[in-house]
Amino acid sequence: MRPFVAVISLALISSSLICVSAQRKRPASTKQAAVKTSDADQLARRRADALLAQMTLNEKLGQLNQLFFFSFQKEESMNDGIRKGEIGSLLFVTDPATINRFQKIAATESRLKIPLIFGFDVIHGFHTIFPVPIAMAASWDPRMVAGAQTIAAREARAVGINWTFAPMVDIARDPRWGRIVEGAGEDPYLGAAMSRAQVRGFQGDHIGSTEHLLACVKHFAGYGTAEGGRDYDAANISDAQLWNVYLPPFKAAVDAGVGSVMSAYMDLNDVPATGNRWLLRDVLRRDWKFSGFVVSDANAVSDLKTHGFARDGHDAAVKALTAGVNMEMSFNAATYLKNLGNALKQNQISIKDIDDMVRPLLETKIKLGLFENPYVDEAKVKSTFDNPAHREAAKNAAERSAVLLKNQTNLLPLSKTAYKKIAVIGPLGDSRQNMLGSWSFAMDINETSTILAGLKTKLGSGTEVEFAPGVQISRIVPSIFDMTLKEKHPPAWTEGHAADEFKKAVALAKDSDIAVMVLGENQDMSGEQASRPTIDLPGRQLELLQAVRATGKPVVLVLINGRPLDITWAAENVPSILEAWYPGSAAGNAVADLLFGDAVPGGKLPFTWIKNAGQVPFYYSHNLTQNPGEQEKRYWNGNAVPLYRFGYGLSYTTFAFSNLKVSQPEIKIGETVEVSVDVKNTGPRAGDEVVQLYIHQQAGGASRPIRELKGFERVTLAAGETKTVRLKLGPNELRYWNAAARGWVQDAENFDVWVGGDSSASLHSTFRVMK
């Protein structure tokens, strides 16, 4: 049983070695930190070993035991276990006073006084909610993303949380899968950049940095390919795809020093990820030299039995431990605590096996400074939460994440004086909760601005802004997360009421100068257990859009969502479309600034925007095969093209690329070329362009993708300004994992290079790699 399912019921009652990933130059401060941490590592090792020498078997197993604690549970239910040293970690405690009470028992009443580590899903903010991760990936701005996660870490740390279950770096090429919203989309290069940025943001310079958290990269590995997009279903991935596409963002996190890894729920090529010794020991620890600890996903250890992989709980515990899972996260299964003692007696595992699993956990608690500072200062929470810079950063993040999909006749940005009456129409136009996206629990909902409120604040009393929802949208199968919503779903309308609301919305449009339609998916339609077989606009939203458009009034469509939706009709018939994602706490103010030109959209799609779910999987970096000229006719109805390309996004200004240069026509294997290009803002106002570099290897030991992203930089340019952007292509960008050689190879071959503002970039050059 998944924890939330259990919660619901309770609630009802109550490289390979050669695979060195992009070793870009690190800033000096990180290098110094690396030196510092290595001393800290040795010290932590000695202290952990000294502790281990004093621990009983039960205390050791206790350190491997992580339990959920929800606010509706009684604290007494945990106190005894903590006192006995049978609980090493709790997750989902967000109240600082409760955290301090639990910690006091661990740090003063347990025999060895080993503090607890408190974990929580700090995914895109804590008190201040930032845009969802797929949105932040659309910013193509790792520095902004690192900054956002630094703030998220500070706020969570302020209540006593030490550890976040993020970043989620699962590559997703099937938007039916609800959790596409939690990651960085379809591309391993962009995914790796976002992974590194988030680890840096959460952890700071080193594990134990003040006001930071331990990060946990998840879900290791392959969860994004759940069959049919059905959450938790099996993943079947070829070796080449695994190495070239799915693992790089994890490797990037490990290289960035991530302190923990979460094993995934599903079977990976028939071996459950949580019992997968190859994944957790050979790849992660032996080849990648990961020295932190692995936590299972919730109940994933006991679930090894569900998979038909383990015979019973005992077998599951042995298999997960020997595969390399250090800590078991469970609602109350505690499979490790209950079974590993017997397994030891039966010689199925040794005490060294257990010690090896406990040691990294103790080392982490030591490095986090929990022994010295186990408690949190409850008096400081409010001032941390109240920091206006956090809200400003969330607004900036929402603005930088937005993607302008269409802007016919430059309807956007809207003039502040041209419209006397503006209609805001759609079920998401005046919602706070649905601006936030999944994994938003600890915020103050009152601090979220709705789009209606944002527009009203922006325009003041001179312009009338009126709202009509028009339609209601809801899931058929209720979400396990609905119990956590702070703004509950309104009661369902009767048929008559629904007809009236629809008419009212159309009448409002007729009576206004322009309609801003806010459509998409409720927060609970996207995320964990939020998969669907179609990607249409839920409910009667399309009908509403068509009826409003038929009034002849100009329409701007603002999308609120975490996956591509079938907006083919809108793309053909609505003049302007702004992808706002789930923008977070500052939603309304950010969208208002974007619509009226006080912010300029500069985000780019982190996935291929398909037309309908029948096209899945569809990604830009496919191989060219038979009949390439007919690529667009691969379905006889001509629908083998996406709606919008990977990397696509417009601005309120225009850009031109020129002067593409590759530093040398030929390099040797292992060497690096520099690609430079001039990008000019050719339009009337300042704006951002994302310079994107794609390569193609023309021949070699394997067929290589038609294009692969291998470099990018987001630049801000004043009107008329030109900047030269330089990007490097070295062995990390030019090698790939080859299924025939069973390893990483770099071929001596010719390469195409394209640079431009999306994956159809046309400015082209070549270079050759020699032996």
Q: What is the CA radius of gyration of the chain?
A: 26
Q: Is 597 exposed, middle or buried, given 0-12, 13-18 or 19+ CB atoms closer than 10 A?
A: middle
Q: Are 455 and 588 in contact (CB under 8 A)?
A: yes
Considering only the C-alpha atoms of the chain, give the largest distance between any 2 of them, rounded to a whole number of Å.
80
Distance in angstroms (rounded) separating the CA atoms of residues 235 and 669: 34
In whole angstroms, how far apart are CA 671 and each of 84, 95, 341?
A: 57, 53, 53
> Is there a catalytic annotation at residue 758?
no
| β-bridge partners, 728 | 674
DSSP string, 244-310: IIISHHHHHHHHTT--EEEE-SSEETTEEGGG-HIIIIIIIIIIT---SEEEEPTTTTTHHHHTTSS
Choosing from 141, 174, 297, 303, the catalytic residue is: 297
User: Could you tell me whether strands 555-560 and 576-579 are parallel, antiparallel, or unpaired per DSSP bridges?
Assistant: parallel
- The SS3 assignment for 366 reads helix
Using rule CB under 6 A, residue 121 touches ligand BGC: yes
Distance in angstroms (rounded) separating the CA atoms of residues 182 and 547: 33
- Binding to ligand BGC (CB under 6 A): which residues in 436-495? none
* CA quadruple 100, 326, 72, 181: dihedral sign: positive
Q: Which of 687, 665, 685, 686 is nearest to 674 (CA)?
A: 665
Q: Which is nearer to ligand BGC, 482 or 752 (CB)?
A: 482
* CA quadruple 376, 382, 386, 387: dihedral sign: negative
Distance in angstroms (rounded) separating the CA atoms of residues 570 and 278: 47
As measured in angstroms, the least distance from the Cβ of 67 to ligand BGC is: 11
Neighbours of 445 (CB within 10 A): 15
List 206, 218, 400, 611, residue binding ligand BGC (CB under 6 A):
218
As measured in angstroms, the least distance from the Cβ of 461 to ligand BGC is: 45
Query: What is the number of residues in the chain?
Result: 771
DSSP string, 548-592: HHTTT--EEEEEE-SS--B-HHHHHH-SEEEE--S--TTHHHHHH
DSSP string, 374-433: -S--GGGHHHHHH-HHHHHHHHHHHHHH-EEEEEGGG-PSPPSSS-SEEEEESTTTT-SG
Neighbours of 46 (CB within 10 A): 12
- Contact string (CB under 6 A) for ligand BGC, positions 320-359, x = contact: ----------------------------------------
Q: Tell me the one-letter amino acid at 476.
A: I
Q: Which is nearer to ligand BGC, 187 or 297 (CB)?
A: 297
List 86, 297, 363, 758, residue binding ligand BGC (CB under 6 A):
297
Q: Which is nearer to ligand BGC, 273 or 317 (CB)?
A: 273
Distance in angstroms (rounded) separating the CA atoms of residues 7 and 73: 10
Q: Which of 152, 209, 216 is nearest to 373 (CA)?
A: 209
548-565 core/surface letters (b: 16 or more CB in 10 A; e: else): bbebebbbbbbbbbbbbb
Using rule CB under 6 A, residue 124 touches ligand BGC: no
As measured in angstroms, the least distance from the Cβ of 120 to ligand BGC is: 8
Neighbours of 722 (CB within 10 A): 15
Distance in angstroms (rounded) separating the CA atoms of residues 562 and 542: 18
- Contact string (CB under 6 A) for ligand BGC, positions 133-172, x = contact: --------------------------------x-------
As measured in angstroms, the least distance from the Cβ of 297 to ligand BGC is: 5
Q: Which is nearer to ligand BGC, 315 or 528 (CB)?
A: 528
Neighbours of 534 (CB within 10 A): 12
- Contact string (CB under 6 A) for ligand BGC, positions 533-572, x = contact: ----------------------------------------
Q: Are 433 and 486 in contact (CB under 8 A)?
A: yes
Q: Are 545 and 555 in contact (CB under 8 A)?
A: yes
User: Token digits for 427?
Assistant: 């079920």
The CA dihedral of 236, 241, 242, 244, to the nearest 10 degrees, is: -170
Q: Where are the beta strands (DSSP E) in 553-686?
A: 555-560, 576-579, 655-662, 666-668, 673-681
Q: Which is nearer to ligand BGC, 529 or 697 (CB)?
A: 529
Q: Which is nearer to ligand BGC, 90 or 506 (CB)?
A: 90
Contacts of residue 239, Cβ cutoff 8 Å, sequence gap at least 6: 737, 739, 742
Distance in angstroms (rounded) separating the CA atoms of residues 604 and 184: 12
Measure CA 662 to chain center.
Answer: 33
Using rule CB under 6 A, residue 528 touches ligand BGC: yes
Q: Which residue is nearest to ligand BGC (CB)?
A: 165
Q: Tell me the one-letter amino acid at 404.
A: L
Residues taking part in catalysis: 297
Residues that bind ligand BGC (CB under 6 A): 2, 121, 165, 218, 297-298, 528
